[in-house]
A and B are shown apart, each in its own frame.
Chain A
Amino acid sequence: MSVSVIPYIPEFITVHLGQPSQQAENVTVTFPDYIKNVASSEVYPTWKEEALKANILAQISFALNRVYTEFYPSRGYDFDITSETQNDQKFIKGRSTFENIDRLVDDMFTTYIRRVGFVEPLAAKFCNGTTSTCDGLSQWGSEALAQEGEDYMSILRRYYGNDIELVNDAPIRDVPNSYPGYPLRQGTTGEDVVVLQAMLNRIGQNYPAIPRLTQVDGIFGPKTEEAVRVFQSVFGLSVDGIVGRATWYKLVFLYVAVTKLSELVSEGQSFTQVQGPSGIQVLRQGDRGPAVSALQFFLSLIGQYSFTLPMLDIDGIFGPKTRQAVEQAQKNFGLPVTGVVNNATWLNIYDEYKGIATTSLADANLPLSPSEIENQFQAGQFPGYSLTYGTND
């Protein structure tokens, strides 16, 4: 089993919504969103801040340990962690979170615990301390210690030993634009401010409340500060006009997601005239070609809206990941789960795509204009049957 040498923070984490061998959905969320969900599911937001910090660091470290050791993939599973407390930590898909916990996670998600002299994130076990006890952090115990005035490091040392240390600012995999390492504020100048202004403008294309910065000049002036404040207000950050780690990464994650969607939509233009392999009515694992690329494009786009489809490369090769995505889509549609794209599966996928194109994409500021989208989906027929089989369009 190979592991990377330096632990990184994953951009996304895939959570299995059940016991490992149980048939259940997988959902893929950003790592900060995962931790916010876990923290909100495991403890009470009214607890002392030092207790919350200790618990959040344990949750981050536990999850990073799962990712770093490839715990589930090495056992043949297609996810990083489960949502159940039997083996992992509690996660409820789509749940609400608590603002104070969210703020702490935004500041802390690039920090983890490890044993001195070791590289891997600590597999920080925890339990509630009443109905279950364990060799690790007691959740109720941590709150009691915090009420007595202990800070999060002394709480963590109490449960995990004195030979632990924190790693700060761990690199985030695949995410460009690392936090500059210092907060950007009025008066700051330079390349980092150019990046900030570009991100604000791009995100602002979809958020009219964020004022447009007409000059991306690398000078953090009053206009830039105003844009930062509005961004912070919309996304629930502390509104101080200063771009610290939390604001920076909130911007970066969103910017990456917006550009990803735009790129996908642009790429989709090349699938307007897909001709299916003649005589073949279905697509299955092992197939190759433009029809598979079109399938992967539609599934990728749907996956941007329904977070339960795995991320796909649009490479025209129908491999195991594509099959998994087809199976999940069939589950979502209530179709027989075969992993084989038959007529019914195609129609469902295509109809879902049309729904997305005419509602969400039509309103959004993406490279395609609404009329181009209209033309695209009129041309993009299911490639595996001729028009004489005739669904009307």
Chain B
Amino acid sequence: MAQTGSLIVRVFASRAQLPIQGATVLVAQRDDQGRYQLLSALITDESGLAGPVSLPAPDVALSQNPGSPLPFSSYSLVVEHPGYQVAIFQDLQIFSGVETTQSVPLMPLSIPESDSPRQQITQVTPQPL
């Protein structure tokens, strides 16, 4: 039977974690050809929360011993809201039976918009085990 993990996304601004309601949250997976499959599209609530989203993950037994194939599935996440930089997360890890939490601090866009980057990309690399 396929195993699953879950994902919760919390979107806010600043260290004070002011919640951002109405942010669009897209969960996708890249296939072998590098194309994205959209798996889930959500909108954050008044606390800035979206999810949980249930996502397939490899058998938990793969993580119990060294030398196995990677014991997690990788997903991509895009979060956007008008007035803020787009936040992109690559290779977000989902483990079987585990809830992954992605905190998303969004950066307000400057006014008028400058040439500085309008998106922020976070790339996760595997644990050095």
Which residues of chain B are within 8 angstroms of A332 by Cβ–Cβ distance? 116
Q: With a CB–CB cut-off of 8 A, which chain B residues contact A254?
A: 16-17
A93 at the interface (CB under 8 A from B): yes
Number of interface residues of A (CB under 8 A): 56
List A274-324 residues whose CB lies under 8 Å from chain B. 304-307
CB-CB < 8 A to A95: which residues of B? 122, 124
The one of A97, A304, A360 in contact with B100, judged by C-beta atoms closer than 8 angstroms, is A97
CA distance A4 to B102 in the complex (A): 35
Q: Are B63 and A46 in contact (CB under 8 A)?
A: yes
Least CB distance from A266 to B in Å reads 14
Of residues 100 to 129 in B, which have CB atoms within 8 Å of A's CB atoms?
100-103, 105, 107-112, 114-117, 120, 122-125, 127-129
| Smallest Cβ-Cβ distance to A348: which chain B residue | B114
CB atoms of B15 and A92 under 8 A apart: no
- CB contacts (< 8 Å) of A304 on chain B: these are 14-16
Q: Residue on B with the closest CB to A335?
A: B116
B64 touches which one: A143, A307, A358 (CB < 8 A)? A143
Q: Are B95 and A99 in contact (CB under 8 A)?
A: no
Most chain B CB within 10 A, of A46, A254, A351, is at: A46
- A207 close to B (CB within 8 Å): yes
Q: Report the Cα distance A356→B91, complex, angstroms.
A: 29
A71 to B125, CA, bound (A): 27
Taking a contact as CB atoms under 8 Å apart, the answer to whether B98 and A260 are in contact is: no
Q: Is B8 an interface residue (CB 8 A)?
A: yes
15 sampled A-B residue pairs with Cβ under 8 A:
A42-B129, A44-B95, A94-B105, A96-B89, A98-B99, A98-B101, A140-B129, A206-B17, A206-B18, A260-B16, A305-B15, A356-B108, A358-B83, A359-B108, A360-B108
- Beyond A43-B127, A334-B115, list 20 extra A-B contacts (CB 8 Å): A42-B129, A44-B95, A46-B63, A94-B105, A96-B7, A99-B99, A99-B100, A128-B128, A130-B66, A206-B18, A234-B49, A236-B10, A254-B16, A261-B16, A262-B16, A355-B109, A356-B108, A358-B83, A360-B14, A360-B108
